Structure formats: C-alpha cells, structure tokens
Amino acid sequence: MAPRRFYSYLRLVAPAALLCGLFSSCPAHAQSRLNDHDVEKIMKNLKEDSKDFYSTFSSSLKKSGIRNTNRESDAKAMTDSFQKETDEMWKRFKDHKRAEADVQRVIEMAGKIDQMVYSLQLDNKTTLSWERVRSELHDISAAFGLQTLGSRGE
C-alpha cells in the first residue's frame, strides 16, 4: 500500500514542482539578457573607450620595441580602423537596432589587436585601457550570441 500512496503523491507533486521551477526561473533569465537600450549604452562606452585606447596605445608604441618601424605604422592604422569601426557599429545600432555584421567585424579586429597588445608587453595604462575594451566587447558579443575574445591568463 505504501508504494501506491507514494506514486499518487508523486503524480500530484511532480507537475507542480516542475511548473514552479519553470516559472520561477523565467524572470531571472529574462533579467540577465541585455535589452536594446543596454546594448546601445555599452556600444557607446566601447566607442569612447576605443578612442582612449587608441591614444594610450599610440603613446605606448613610441616607447616599444617596434617604434619607428612599419609594424608601428600598421599597429596604429589597425587601432585607428578599430576605433572607427566601433563608432560605425554604435551609429548603425542606434539608428536601426541591428549591427550583427559590424559586431563580428569589430570582434575580429579586436582579436588581432589583442594579440598585439599582449605580445608587445605594453605599459599598464595601455593594458588596462584594452581590458576595458575587451570587457565591453565580451558583453556585446554575448548580447549578439557571438564568440568573443579568449580569456586572459590561459
């Protein structure tokens, strides 16, 4: 008799527990997603931080092992292009609420810059500036469901 009571109890409690679990987790999941306003704000921050990064990066290159070389010119051109792409990405998203291709392009450029920043072992100010950019890129790429830059310290 006891197993029969247990199964009837289970038939009543299990669906209720399942429904409670589904409904209680939905609001928490919805709150963790970024809405368009949040994405636009992060993109605007990224645009501003990429300008700051370009400035500190350019100054830091003057003290690096690649100063006065074609690599320095290429590095500056790449970061300048990155800065312009983040601005275009923000404008497109602000106007149309779409920027998937722009986000992908910015992430790809950032991957190249990321390798350069850490291989050149630039000063702390430049590295911290880049880390801010990386963090914002991570948030944006997550909002678009895209793969982001690898994590540091691997």
- Sole residue written with tokens 């990405």: 89
Q: What is the pTM of this model?
A: 0.74
Looking at residue 149, its pLDDT comes to 72
Average pLDDT, the chain: 83
CA atoms within 13 A on the CB side of 42: 20
Looking at residue 152, its pLDDT comes to 52
CA 79, CA 66: separation in Å to the nearest integer? 15
The domain spans of the chain are 1-32, 35-143
CA 16, CA 135: separation in Å to the nearest integer? 40
pLDDT bucket at 95, cuts 50 / 70 / 90: very high
Q: How many CB atoms neighbour CB 86 within 10 A?
A: 31
* 85-98 average pLDDT score: 95
Residue-wise pLDDT tens digits, 81-90? 999 999 999 9
Beta strands in the chain (DSSP E): none
Residue 115, pLDDT above cutoff 80: yes
